[in-house]
């Protein structure tokens, strides 16, 4: 597992982020304070405070380089 910080400060960014990570079979969690939600859930993402960076936990053993490459537009 790896944790990175991402920024999802617009509706379009949230939609493209979810479309990007759904291409992977791995689990992704967004962590904001005491809340942990499935990063593939648009409704869950909108329940978070998107005005500041959020921690993304990537539960993957393989493809980490590929995953980080496609996440570059969202990394803080």
pLDDT in tens, the chain (76 residues): 999 999 999 999 999 999 999 999 999 999 999 999 999 999 999 999 999 999 999 999 888 999 999 999 999 9
Burial of 45: CB neighbours in 10 Å, binned 0-12, 13-18, 19+: buried
Buried b (16+ CB within 10 A) or exposed e, 18-29: beebeeeeeebb
Cα 75 from chain centre: 9
Distance CA 32, CA 49 (A): 8
Q: Note the Cα 19 to chain centre separation in Å.
A: 11
Instruction: Supply the pLDDT for residue 66.
Output: 94
What pLDDT shows up at residue 2? 95
């Amino acid at each position: 597992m790896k944790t990175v910080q991402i920024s999802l400060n617009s509706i379009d960014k949230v939609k493209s982020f979810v479309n990007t990570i759904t291409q992977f079979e791995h689990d992704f969690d967004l962590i904001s304070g005491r809340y942990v939600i499935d990063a593939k859930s648009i409704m869950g993402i909108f329940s978070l405070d998107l005005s500041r960076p959020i921690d993304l936990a990537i539960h993957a053993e393989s493809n980490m380089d590929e995953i980080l490459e496609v996440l570059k537009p969202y990394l803080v």
